[in-house]
Amino acid sequence: MVGAARRITALTGAGVSTASGIPDFRGPNGVWTKDPTAQRLSDIDSYLADPQVRVDAWRSRAEHPVWAAEPNPAHRAFADLAASGRLGSLLTQNIDELHQRGGLDRDQVLELHGSMLRVVCLDCGAASSMRSVLRRVAEGETDPPCPHCGGIQKSATISFGQALDADVLRAARRAALDCDLFLAAGTSLTVQPAAAFAELAVKAGARLVVCNAEPTPYDELADAVLRGPLDEVLPALAAVPPAEHAAP
């Protein structure tokens, strides 16, 4: 199926980064499975209302495994699919930038939920790097205000209660409509609107392949479901030669 595909749109979730040492949210060792209260750090109303939530959020960013993480074979498999000319866009719910570091062009990756390596001021919109803000935290500021307007800053990620970026959504929708294979990998397909792109692609005539360790609500819609570890499954998929070059 992957061999016959000419234009793949992918959707990835936290499962592609677990082999890089970044836990998912809802898997057996997920951050929220182990500590459901951690969700409050990702809620925009608590973030704005409660200074302690912001202090905890910066501390949790500083301790995040992303700083030691390297792309794994699952990330590199997408770069291989792109190099063979088959991968168009990759929609990701991940905020770790490991797809870009794993070899995909920046404009090929649609970050549906933003990036935790960037920071944005919620008042004036000024952008900065997470590294620079965490340096201020290490120097003793518990909730560093925006250097331009003094406003509240937050990682450039989409929290519960925040709208997704309209341009990114538009591009993601276009990519879902414009593919012959939609490859969902490492996502529980329970967060909307991300998961709905799989259905949109199928309605537009694409085949759907789901690669995930656990069942998802979209498995029944899929033409194939692969359950193995992604750092093995995805390299094997990317190694399937394109049909026109395959042996007869």
**C-alpha 39, offset from chain centre:** 17
Smallest separation (angstroms) from Zn ion to the CB of 112: 24
Binding site partner of 214, from Zn ion, ligand NAD, none, Cβ cut-off 5-8 A by kind: ligand NAD
Candidate list 75, 99, 113, 148, residue with the active-site label:
113
Closer CB to ligand NAD, residue 56 or residue 180? 56
167-179 burial, b at 16+ Cβ within 10 Å, e below that, comes to ebbeebbebbeeb
Closer CB to Zn ion, residue 119 or residue 121? 121
Residue ranges of the alpha helices (H) in the chain?
31-34, 44-49, 51-62, 73-83, 98-101, 130-138, 166-177, 196-203, 230-238
**C-alpha 79, offset from chain centre:** 15
Smallest separation (angstroms) from Zn ion to the CB of 143: 14
> Catalytic residue at 64?
no
- For the chain, the residue count is 248
Q: What are phi and psi of 116, to 5 degrees?
A: -85, 0
Footprint of Zn ion on residues 98-117 (CB under 5 A)?
none
Q: Which among 130, 189, 187, 194 is positioned nearest to 168, based on CA atoms?
A: 194
If binding is defined by CB under 6 A, does position 95 make contact with ligand NAD?
A: yes
If binding is defined by CB under 6 A, does position 58 make contact with ligand NAD?
A: no
Binding site partner of 61, from ligand NAD, Zn ion, none, Cβ cut-off 5-8 A by kind: none
If binding is defined by CB under 6 A, does position 156 make contact with ligand NAD?
A: no
- Taking CA atoms, 4 is separated from 145, 167, 205, in Å, by 52, 30, 14
Q: How many CA atoms lie within 13 A of 243 on its CB side?
A: 7
Binding site partner of 176, from ligand NAD, Zn ion, none, Cβ cut-off 5-8 A by kind: none
If binding is defined by CB under 6 A, does position 102 make contact with ligand NAD?
A: no
Smallest separation (angstroms) from ligand NAD to the CB of 90: 13
Stretch that binds ligand NAD, among 43-51, 134-142, 188-196, 238-246 (CB under 6 A): 188-196
Footprint of ligand NAD on residues 19-48 (CB under 6 A)?
19, 22, 24-27, 30
User: What helix, strand, coil percent values describe the chain, rounded to 5?
Assistant: 40, 20, 40
Closer CB to ligand NAD, residue 46 or residue 188? 188
Return d(Cα 75, Cα 16) in angstroms, integer. 7
Binding site partner of 188, from ligand NAD, Zn ion, none, Cβ cut-off 5-8 A by kind: ligand NAD
If binding is defined by CB under 5 A, does position 236 make contact with Zn ion?
A: no
Residues labelled catalytic: 113
Binding region for ligand NAD (CB under 6 A): 13-15, 17-19, 22, 24-27, 30, 93-96, 113, 186-188, 190-191, 212-214, 229-230
